Structures are given as structure tokens and as C-alpha cells.
Amino acid sequence: MKFFDRITNYFSSNHGKHKNAQSIIPSRLNLLLWIVGILLLMLAGRLFYLQVLNGSSYKAEVKRSDTTIQTNNVQRGMIYDSRGRVIVGNQTHQAITYTKSSDVTADQLYKIANRLGKYITVSNSDTRLTDRNEQDYYLANKDNLKRIVKKLNLSKDASDDDQYDAALKYLKSHPSEWHLSSHEKSNARIYAAMTGAYSLSTTYIKKSGVTSRELAEVGEHLNQMPGVKIGTAWTRNYPQGKNFQSLTGTVSTTGLPSDQVNSLLSQGYSRSDSVGQSYLEKMFQGTLAGSKSQTQVTTRGNKVTDETVKYPGKKGDNLVLTINAKFQKRVQQILEQNYSSAGISYSSGVYAVVMNPHTGAIYAMAGIDRNIKTGKQTVDEIGAINHPITMGSVVKGATIMGGLMSGVITPSDNTLTDQPIKVAGTSTKSSWFNKTGSANMALSAPMALEVSSNSYMMQLIMKEGGMNYKPGAQLTLKPSIFAKERQYFNMFGLGQKTGIDLPGETAGYNGPSTQKHIGSALDLAYGNYDGYTVIQLAQYMSTIANGGNRMRPYVVKEIRGSKSNGKLGRVVSTTQPQVQFTIPASKEDFDLIRQGLYLVTHGTNSYVTAKSLGSAKPSISGKTGTAETVTNGHQTSTISFAGYSPSKNPQVVVALAIPGVTNENGGANLNMAKQIFSAYWKMVQDSKSTTND
């Protein structure tokens, strides 16, 4: 019985286990089916939400069009001379451009740049390549970025930006571990130009020197490079010669200048834009740049569906200068031909300005900058406004006016004796012709100008300071005499900016003005202390020539638009002559000074200083100058001249200076002046149109 009981129990237990196994399998299947069912319900709910509840909005989003404005560059305004001759023009080139789409990624830009790099080569003259540009291009290759990041052992929480910044830092500190080939550098320039562009703005990839082969290959593969196009670019040319660049300035060729990037970007410029870098190009950037064209671009998804020109752009307005290009070149030539005769071993250059005394218009501004160490000479037309020079006796007309206005002399009582000036504690100072006192003579104010008397000018200053000169007496002048002297000089424009419409003008140089330097007040009286620019010298002489009005010099006569054929168009604005100051002196005071300036060139005294100009027709009045200087330990001189013509009805002023010469008696300053006046009457104004005296 027990045996059968055991058998029965065995089969009963095994049968129960089998039933349990069978019951477990369906329950698992049921659970799986329930899960699948729930997921299907969720999917159905999501589809219901997308297609039924929000289907219309998503359809609208797919069909939605984006409208943005794309900008393109326009031709820069040109610069003309007073006769309508082009000084600075534009030369048209076929160019490779890129218009950046609104949703392009850095990776896509990298691929486009590399593809374009197969067909063109871009040099630094097109896009300036910086170290950062090279690093960005190197890391744009994902493999390079991963390799560098792997070396850094950064935290797992480091963001993509943190990783990139760390990679940049690594490249900078490990330059030997990476490099770009010349081909890769060309591609890097392309990539830099593309990444630097604003969304939907057009930038130049290569604006000049594009070969016919490059044009053909790029054109053939345009569909593979979204945004790349063949367009037109302009670069500056100089029909009258590149020498004019030192006056008109230059335009950047590799995008915005690095020292002005932030300022210009805030004004709406793109990084690749060309802008004026110096002088007229820089000062009139807003006028010359024009207005970019605007095209409304409609996109659907990633495709452009429509382009509509909303504003065709406006070519930059043109500058018309007061300068006569042919006369300007002739004045520059005159300086070059006569410069060496002055003895220029230690000379730093020569500068000249030709000016209308009644309006301030500049007819010519020429110059040579000379490197004293190497002897190399370069054209430096703008040096006339930014090189202060100790001019010498040429400024004595202002000293005479100071004496008249202070009342120490009058038009009817102005005679003083030329004699060596000896005051206690200083060395003897004298006129060039009377160093020993053997040529003492009574001089009126006009005669003092005729013979260029230093003694006369020093005595005037002492009188203005309340001192009656006696040989050997103590110099009792106070430091305030410096300010008093300079006040009279400033009225003529000497020692302060003239306000000319060119950047970079300097005010000049004032020597120390303390009691310790009081003896130098005497040197200041005859132009041997402070420094002035040649443009100031021209303004000073113009003020005498026109009877007391200090006119603001200017070189831009008009701003004009362009006709459809590219020629000069309507006048936008005209520069009006501006009187900066009227000297409160009488006609008799000015007549006295003008009489002296006439005697400088036509006088009969044996010590007359510019007799060689007396034969010129129309007649010339003016003043020479010689200042004693020291250059690199050598005794040198500045020789200068400022004058006007004709003497009775002045129409033109010429001012020039040659610092650091060793042959002050060679007459280079007078030869230059005479030839410049002659060229003016031949090339700018007919001498028959004015009185010939």
C-alpha cells in the first residue's frame, strides 16, 4: 500500500508542476500583449494629436516661407580734381562671392570651403589669415577636434564650447603638433571669409586676380556649393599716378582694419567690406561707401523660392577736390628737382602748399619725406599738415603785427635801430648781417622785414614785455611774454590746427615757457623757437594777403552724385569758404606789413633777402626764413618761404619749408617758390586775368 501511495504522490506532484509551467507561459504572453497594446494606444493617441488636433498647424509650418533681406556691395565713389579729371577711380573685376544662408552649419561651411578650394587659390591679399583663422579651420575637421580633445582629459560635464576653447588653447601652446599646408591655408582663408559673413550677406572670397580657369571651374560646380556665386568687385586705380595716394589715402583690401573692426561692425559693415584706411578715403568713408543693395529673399525649407530687389543700392558719392592734378604733379616735380641743391645730408624732407588766400581752397599740397639714415625719399603730400618745423624769419610779419596791436609801434612811428642784443646772462643775439655791430642802422617796420632784422623783432618783444633795451641790462621779461607772443601768432593760425578737411593734422610745437627759458622769448620773436606746419604758414600768409581774415583751408570742393553713364552727376553739397577769425587790426597796420613784404622781393637795400623774385610777373611779395637747427649733432638750418602774387591784388599764396639743410644760401627755397608761382599762372589761372604787379 505504501508503495502505491508513493507512486500516486509522485505522479500527482509532477502533474502539478506541469500544470504550473503551462499556466506561467500564457500569463507572460498576456503581459507582453498588454504592453504592446498600451504602446499601440499611445501611438494612436500621438497620431491623433498630430494629425487630427494639430494637423493643420503642422501643415502650415511645412509650407511656411521665411522672408529675409540680403545685402550686396556697391561701387565706391570716385575722387576727381578741380578740372574733373579722375584722381581715384574704380577698376572692375570678376570675383568669387559667397552669400551665407540663415541655417548653414559650421560643418557645412567647412565642406563648401574645401570644395571651393579645389578650384581657386586665395592669398592674403584677398583675405588676411590670422592664427585664429588657421586654428578654427584645423578644428573644423571633426577628426582633428576629437583627437585634441582626447588629449585634454576634460571633465565629462564639459560642454562643446568648453571643449572647443580648450582645444584652441592647446593648439596655441603646442604649435609644433599641428600645421596647415599652403593649400589648406588657402582653404582656411575661404572658410574664414565664409564664417565671418552675416546671415544672408554677400562677402567676397576672391575679389581680384581670378583666372579664367578658376571662373570656368567654379561656374561648372556652383550647384555643389550653395551660396557661392560669380560676381563683380571693384578695386581702386589711380589714373593720375599712385603718388596721389599720400593725399587721398588708401582702401583696405582684406576686409575691415583690425584696429577698427568692432567700431565698424557696430555701424553695419561686414567683416569683408573695404573701407577707407587713411586721409580722404577714411575721412569721407560714409560719403564714398554708398548704400548696399537690398534683395528680399524668400525661402521654403532650405530652398530659395524667390528673390526680389527691393533697393538696387546707390553708388557712393564722388569727391571733387580743389586740387588741380596736373599742377599738383608739377609742384611735386619742382620740389624733387630743387631739393638736393639745398644740401640734404641731414634733411628730413621738403613740403609746399599752394592756397587761395580769399577762400582757403588748396590748389596743391606736395612733399617729400626723407629718411635721414638711409637717404630714401618718398612722396609725402600730407606732411604739410603733420610735420612741425622751426620756420625762422618767415613769421616776422606776425611779430610786427603784435607790435602794432600792442601799441609799442604805430604805422607812423615804428623806427628802431638794428644792433646786436646783449643782455646779462645770455649770449649775444643779432641779425644775420650785423653780428658785430658794424652794420647798425635805423629801420622802419617795412625795412625790418626787407632785411629780415632779428634785432628789430627782439626789441619789439622786450617793449611788449615792458622792458626798454639797454646793452648788458638784465632781461626782466616774465614768462607771460610767451603767451602774449603766441596770442598774436595764433591769430594768424601759427601754432594751432587750421581745421583742414584731412585727418591727422597737428597743432605744431611750443617750446618750454618757464622763467628758466625766458631768453628763448627773444628767439620766438624771429621764428627760431616754436614749430609750425607748412599749412599753417600758408594760412598765415593768406591772412596778410586778404587783409585780416583767417580762412579755413580745405581740399574737398564738392560732393557730387553720378549719372547713369558713370560720369559726375548733380552737386550734393559745396564747401563754403569759412572765416575762422578776423584780426582786429586797421588797414594801415596791414598796409605797413604788406609794404615790408613787397620790399623783401623788390627792395633796394643791399641786405634784401629775396631779390631773385623781383623779376617775376605777376609780382611776388613774401618773406624768407632761416632757422638755425641741430640735426644728429650737426649744425643745420631750415630755409622757408611764404608769399603771395600779385602784390596788389593777391590771388594765390605759396608756402614751403626745407628743414635740416646744410646749404642755406643755395637759394633752393626761392627757386622752388619762383617756379611754383610760374606754374600756377600757366596751369591754374591765366596771368592776364589779373593785374600784373
Strands 318-321 vs 79-80: parallel, antiparallel or unpaired? parallel
CA distance 134 to 430: 67
Report whether 472 contacts 423 (CB < 8 A).
Answer: yes
C-alpha distances out from residue 293 to 75, 156, 315, 423, 654, Å: 11, 48, 9, 73, 45
Report whether 323 contacts 82 (CB < 8 A).
Answer: yes
- The amino acid that residue 180 corresponds to is L
Report whether 507 contacts 440 (CB < 8 A).
Answer: no
Residue 113 has which C-alpha cell?
570651403
Residue 450 has which C-alpha cell?
626787407
CA distance 581 to 593: 19
pLDDT in tens, 24-79: 567 777 777 788 888 888 887 777 766 766 665 555 544 445 566 666 678 899 99
The three-state secondary structure class of 557 is strand
Evaluated on CA atoms 605, 607, 609, 614, the torsion sign reads positive
Which H or E run contains 549? strand 549-551
* Packed helices 480-491 and 396-406: angle between N→C axes, nearest 10 degrees: 110
Does residue 503 have a cis peptide bond before it, meaning omega lies within 30 degrees of 0?
A: no
- The amino acid that residue 226 corresponds to is P
Locus of grid cell 625719399: 377
CA distance 674 to 670: 6
Per run of 10 residues, the mean pLDDT along the chain (length 693 residues) is 48 49 65 81 75 60 55 84 95 88 87 95 82 93 91 86 91 91 94 83 84 93 92 89 91 76 74 84 91 70 66 86 97 97 95 98 97 95 96 98 97 97 90 96 98 97 94 93 97 97 95 95 96 98 98 97 89 97 97 98 96 96 96 93 97 98 94 98 86 61
Q: What are phi and psi of 469, to 5 degrees?
A: -70, 135
pLDDT value, residue 576: 97
Report whether 661 contacts 342 (CB < 8 A).
Answer: yes
CA distance 188 to 141: 11
CA distance 540 to 557: 21
CA distance 275 to 256: 7
Evaluated on CA atoms 211, 216, 222, 225, the torsion sign reads negative
Longest dimension (CA), the chain: 171
pLDDT value, residue 67: 62
Residue 606 has which C-alpha cell?
643791399
C-alpha distances out from residue 290 to 268, 561, 568, Å: 13, 10, 15
Which H or E run contains 591? helix 587-602
pLDDT value, residue 202: 79
The three-state secondary structure class of 203 is strand
Beta strands in 160-314 (DSSP E): 202-206, 228-237, 293-300, 303-311
Q: Give me the residues paired with residue 443 across strands.
A: 416
Q: What are phi and psi of 59, to 5 degrees?
A: -65, -40
Q: What residues have CB less than 8 Å from 490, skipping those under 6 apart? A: 496
Q: What residues have CB less than 8 Å from 572, skipping those under 6 apart? A: 317, 558, 559, 560, 561
CA distance 309 to 230: 18
Does residue 239 have a cis peptide bond before it, meaning omega lies within 30 degrees of 0?
A: no
Report whether 238 contacts 104 (CB < 8 A).
Answer: no
pLDDT value, residue 109: 94
Dihedral angle computed from the Cα positions of residues 627, 339, 603 and 438, in that order, rounded to the nearest 10 degrees:
40
Residues acting as catalytic residues = 393
The three-state secondary structure class of 174 is coil
The three-state secondary structure class of 415 is coil
- The amino acid that residue 56 corresponds to is S
Report whether 70 contacts 98 (CB < 8 A).
Answer: no
Dihedral angle computed from the Cα positions of residues 18, 24, 27 and 28, in that order, rounded to the nearest 10 degrees:
-130
What is the value of pTM for the model shown?
Answer: 0.81
Please give, one letter per residue, the 3-state secondary structure of 43-93.
HHHHHHHHHHHCHHHHHHHHHCEEEEEEEECCCCCCEECCCCCEEEEEEEE
What is the chain's Cα-based Rg?
40
Report whether 276 contacts 288 (CB < 8 A).
Answer: yes
Q: What residues have CB less than 8 Å from 553, skipping those under 6 apart? A: 353, 355, 360, 361, 362, 498, 499, 500, 535, 538, 539
